[in-house]
Amino acid sequence: MLRYVLGRLWQSAILLLLVSFIGFVVLSLAPGGPLSQFALSPGMTQEQLDRIAEQMGLNRPVIIQYLEWLRHMLAGNWGVSYRDGQPVLKIIGSHLFATLLLMVTSTILAVSIGSTIGIVSAIRRGSVFDYTMTVLAMVALSIPTFWFGLVAIYVFSLNLGWFPAGNMYTAGDGSILDYARHLVLPAMVLALVDLAIWSRYMRTATLNVINQDFVRTARAKGLPRRRVLFKHIVGNALIPMITLAGLQLPTLLGGALVTETVFTWPGMGRLFLDSLGYSDYPVVMGLLMTSAIFVVIGNLAADLTIALIDPRVRLE
């Protein structure tokens, strides 16, 4: 087990190194660069731009810039943003809170409601409930999030006035209740799509289990319905879900760009887009590495969890 984990970590380190190198080079090759936003400014001359580039070290060869970045990174120094001069880790940290608040809330909603719908649909396959949920899930999956977002704002904010039209909290307030009020619409919108996905997966996973021999055996030996459902059916149906959850972990941290934009939520998705737009290399690289690390961790965690709960799987 330990050997397996160490092996995986070693592979991951190489993978991360590769990701960072490719990311850095591709970023540097993109047209524009951090100074292009200033090139359009009144009175800017090439001479002044060259001076700034030199001060920022942007005139050095890409490979040198990369090695420099890597050296600092390995020493725990993720650099400072070109835009506001703040340390990259601090910037990521401040956006991470907003993203986690939104994503964790919506994921809890999506997983709990979605799984329940999936299980019930599978057990009552072919019922009116099953068909209704299937249709609704298809609708939810095929309509873009921004549309849901705008409709939610239109109905619940502009017309009914129940919830604010956006933002994470009211400037000057910021109580827990205030956060909660702001959280309802975006979390609901975001959960809707995830919920549809989870319900579909859960339905399929449950169906795969429901006709297995061991379920029939459990029923045949007279176990109570409830026990068969929760212990034998749901328990086994959850196994593929864990892999799915592991893959979802980085998404959780990556934020939801569209929802964040519609509801002016200051999360990671918007940070990534903004940083990319301004060619804020240190922040973009920081975000890239963070999400790469979480992809690796998520996968590893999912594999290990499966090994723990599924006696059929052995890690060697």
Q: Give contact residues for another protein (rule: CB under 8 A).
A: 31-33, 35-45, 48, 51-52, 55-56, 80-81, 83-86, 91, 94-95, 98, 150, 153, 157-158, 164-168, 171-172, 261-264, 266-267, 270-271, 273-274
SS (H, E, C) 117-142: HHHHHHHCCCCHHHHHHHHHHHHHHH
Q: Give dist(CA 260, CA 189) in Å, integer.
A: 11
Work out how close the CB of 147 gets to another protein at its nearest, in angstroms, rounded to a whole number.
12
Strand partners, 80: 87
Which of 17, 20, 49 lies closest to 33 in space, CA to CA? 49
Q: Is 81 helix (H, G, I), strand (E, B) or coil?
A: coil
Element (H, E) at 28: helix 2-29
* Residue closer to another protein, measured from CB, 48 or 305: 48
* Residue closer to another protein, measured from CB, 147 or 230: 147
Kindly list the distances between the CA atom of residue 179 and the CA atoms of 49, 53, 168, 185, 266, in Å, as whole numbers in the listed order. Answer: 43, 42, 6, 11, 13
How many other β-carbons are positioned within 10 Å of the β-carbon of residue 200?
19
* Residue closer to another protein, measured from CB, 62 or 141: 62
Work out how close the CB of 234 gets to another protein at its nearest, in angstroms, rounded to a whole number.
40
Q: Taking CA 87 as the corner, what is the angle to CA 82 and CA 90, rounded to the nearest 5 degrees?
A: 125
Work out how close the CB of 157 gets to another protein at its nearest, in angstroms, rounded to a whole number.
6
Work out how close the CB of 251 gets to another protein at its nearest, in angstroms, rounded to a whole number.
19
* Residue closer to another protein, measured from CB, 150 or 315: 150
* Residue closer to another protein, measured from CB, 11 or 94: 94
* Residue closer to another protein, measured from CB, 168 or 195: 168
How many other β-carbons are positioned within 10 Å of the β-carbon of residue 29?
9
Token pair for 55: 């001060």
How many other β-carbons are positioned within 10 Å of the β-carbon of residue 56?
13
Work out how close the CB of 38 gets to another protein at its nearest, in angstroms, rounded to a whole number.
5
